Structures are given as C-alpha cells and as structure tokens.
Amino acid sequence: MSACTLLRNTVEIGMTESEFKQKNIPVYLSEMTEEYTIYRIPQDESRDLFVYFEKGKLVRVQEVVYRPDLIIEKRQN
C-alpha cells in the first residue's frame, strides 16, 4: 500500500468545520471573515483543494491546478 493511498482527504458538503479539521491533515487557513472561512489542502506540487465554510458548514469545494503560463526551454547549440 502506497503513502498516497493513505493520505485521502475527507471532504463532504455539509460537514462541520470541526469535523473537517479532525479528518484532514495538513490543512491551512487561507482566509477568514465574519461571513466565511476558506481552508487550503495541498494535494501535490501542482494542485490544491480549497474548501469554503459558511456559518460553520462546508458549502463549496474548489480544486486549483497550477500551470505555468510560459515555459522557457534552453536550447543547446
């Protein structure tokens, strides 16, 4: 069994913030206001999962994939 298999995140719409924090490590606070809280869960070097809480309940999940806009290749002469 690989380490990747063991590191599954548990994210379900409607779960409470405390349930979310207990079931997901590592998790990073990304933004907090009076209306909502956003956490970031790293997936790998090119992807993060952002989870949005309103009134203590998970209401939205968004995956962000990071891709470079420009790739520079060095040519060898």
- Mean pLDDT confidence for 9-25: 88
**Strands of 1-77, DSSP E:** 28-32, 36-44, 47-54, 57-65
Q: How far is CA 21 from the centre of its chain?
A: 12
Q: Is the pTM of this model over 0.75?
A: no
- pLDDT, the chain, mean: 84
DSSP-H helix ranges across 1-77: 3-6, 17-23
pLDDT of 2 higher than 50? no
pLDDT of 1 higher than 70? no
- Mean pLDDT confidence for 35-47: 91
Token pair, residue 56, equals 């203590």
pLDDT-based confidence at 8, cuts 50/70/90? low
**Residue 66: its pLDDT value, please?**
87
